[in-house]
Amino acid sequence: MRKPGSLIRAALLSGLLGLLATAQEPKPGAPQDAAAAKAPASGEEIERLKARREQALKLNELIARANAALSAKQWPEAAEAFQSLITAEPERWEYRRGRADALLNSGKYEEAIRAYEDGLARVQPELTAANRGEPATERARAAGQMLTNQGNCYLKLGKPDDALAAYRKAAELEPNPSAAYFDLAATCYNLGRVDEALIYCDKTIAADPGRADAYFIKGSILLGNATMDQAGKLVGPPGMIESLQKYLELKPDGPHAADVKEMLKYAGVEPAPAKK
């Protein structure tokens, strides 16, 4: 079973792709009040417009460079481009998240953790201000993804308790917390904290009934809790067989399919043939 650290999601600035900075210049033919139509732009106003246009072009160039580096998985170059964007527009949390993701994929976990903290500090006020609706959902999802990736960094650094703390925060924020719950389940399982893992498996399944690996972990834990009756027959806890069968139903050719079939045979149950 893969550890959560191997499930790193390169969230990589989904909101940034396609983003273009634009200078707000009057459009040809746009209605203007009479005074503005008569008065020609002053030299100072023209210079301001030129400066804004130059700034927009510079931002577009940096965004294009960052996107190209992400597409090519050139993480150091991507981190550098995002740092330039942060310098140009320090209030944008998207750039800070992009830099953190690039650092994570570069293996610079300590730096990535700090970068995610910067991104979270920027997005939290916007999340609070948005309060509800799509803007709030978007920012809650972004914050949850940053916390999840921060947890992955902690796992890479051998700090599972810090990782679990980050995953718990992510589960509180994410509109759909199934991924965060699964990271909690898998991490607890790998640490041998099976009672906690079982709780988080159930939370994962409740949030996303189609997440097959949650059934695998749950079935494995319950099989470990099975006993033998006086006749030497294995007696499993409620839900054991159902969880293993559900994994095969969802992933008949999945990476754990062979193991699950052996578990079912050990429990005295013949695996059902895969549905066509």
Vertex 81, ends 80 and 83: CA angle to 5°?
Answer: 65
User: pLDDT grade, residue 204 (50/70/90)?
Assistant: very high
Rounded distance, CA 170 to CA 184, Å?
10
- Residue ranges, comma separated, of all CATH 1.25.40.10 domains in the chain are 1-9+57-175, 177-276
Say yes or no to pLDDT of 241 above 90. Answer: yes
In angstroms, how far apart are the furthest CA atoms of the chain? Answer: 100
In CATH, 1-9+57-175 is 1.10.3720.10: no
Which CATH superfamily is 177-276 part of?
Tetratricopeptide repeat domain (1.25.40.10)
**76-110 per-position pLDDT tens digit:** 999 999 999 999 999 999 999 999 999 999 999 99
> In this structure, what are the phi and psi dihedrals at residue 235, rounded to the nearest 5 degrees?
-120, 110
Rounded distance, CA 145 to CA 139, Å?
10
Neighbours of 28 (CB within 10 A): 5
Beta bridge partners of 234: 228
**135-159 per-position pLDDT tens digit:** 889 999 999 999 999 999 999 999 9
pTM of the model: 0.78
Tokens 């999945």 belong to: 254
